[in-house]
Amino acid sequence: MTSRVAIYYAPAETDPLWEAAASWLGRDPMTGAPRKQPDVADIAAITADPRHYAFHATLKPPMRLKPGVTWAAVLDSAAAIAAGIAAFDVPRLAVADLHGFLALRETTPSPELQALADACVAGADHLREPPDEAELAKRRRNGLPPAQEANLVRWGYPYVFATWFFHMTLTRRLTAEERAGCFPAASAHFAAALAVPRRVTDLCLFTQAADGADFLLAERIPLRG
């Protein structure tokens, strides 16, 4: 059916953040069509990794589905998660340096975002095919502390529950010189969009059609709690 499925938070298509992010990353996350990027040195290369995954905050990380799991089952599971969660306001976001990457981060902690991510990790896990040894080795290549290793073994991903953190990635890891140019450029590019209040009103199912293919928005599941 598909290579991988992920549950993301992504802004609504009517949110100015949707358009700002599509421009920054150079790709429409719904159609896959290229977008003209701002005039920033090496921006196509700097944004290649986040462009592949599409603009998002991870709730349930990309997962391969167990044999026999249908798209209808994925939709049913997402709808069951969404049925127990009410829409809520997103804290103000800002461009931040995250271990050398640029990302949008919340400026105040959000228990609602944490609860949403937790519900997605647990509620969709029965669909997930466990990672193979190559995937596990890739996650472990730089070493993992015990809590992240335990998450990897149990949930297939190191950054869930207590180790999860909200972020919407904008670049790969930058050199100091790249950061000096990119940080102010990203802050200016997103300033108008980030001034607009926003709410989380749905879960976004993104799919990867084949290994190496870009992730695309496949479905929005409204929150109904």
Tell me: pLDDT of 158 over 70: yes
Is residue 183 within 8 A of residue 94, CB to CB? The reply is: no
**In the predicted model, what is the mean pLDDT of residues 132-144?**
93
Residue 209 confidence class, pLDDT cut points 50, 70, 90: very high
- Residue 158 to residues 19, 155, 169, Cα–Cα distance (Å): 30, 8, 17
Please check the confidence at residue 117 and state whether its pLDDT lies above 70. yes
The confidence score (pLDDT) of residue 46 equals 98
DSSP 129: P
Does residue 2 carry a pLDDT above 80?
no
Evaluate if residue 41 carries a pLDDT over 90: yes
The C-alpha atoms of residue 116 and residue 111 are separated, in whole angstroms, by 9
Q: In the chain, what are the domain boundaries?
A: 4-222
172 pLDDT more than 80: yes
Cα(156)–Cα(64) distance, integer angstroms: 10
Query: What's the CA gap between 13 and 6, in Å, rounded?
Result: 18
| Mean per-residue pLDDT of the chain | 97
Q: What is the mean pLDDT of residues 144-157?
A: 97
Q: Which class in CATH covers the domain with range 4-222?
A: alpha beta
Q: Is the pLDDT of residue 1 over 70?
A: no
pLDDT at 112 over 80: yes
Is residue 1 within 8 Å of residue 178, measured between CB atoms? no
| Per-residue pLDDT reduced to its tens digit, 44-74 | 999 999 999 999 999 999 999 999 999 999 9
DSSP letter assigned to residue 96: E
Percent of the chain at pLDDT above 70?
A: 100
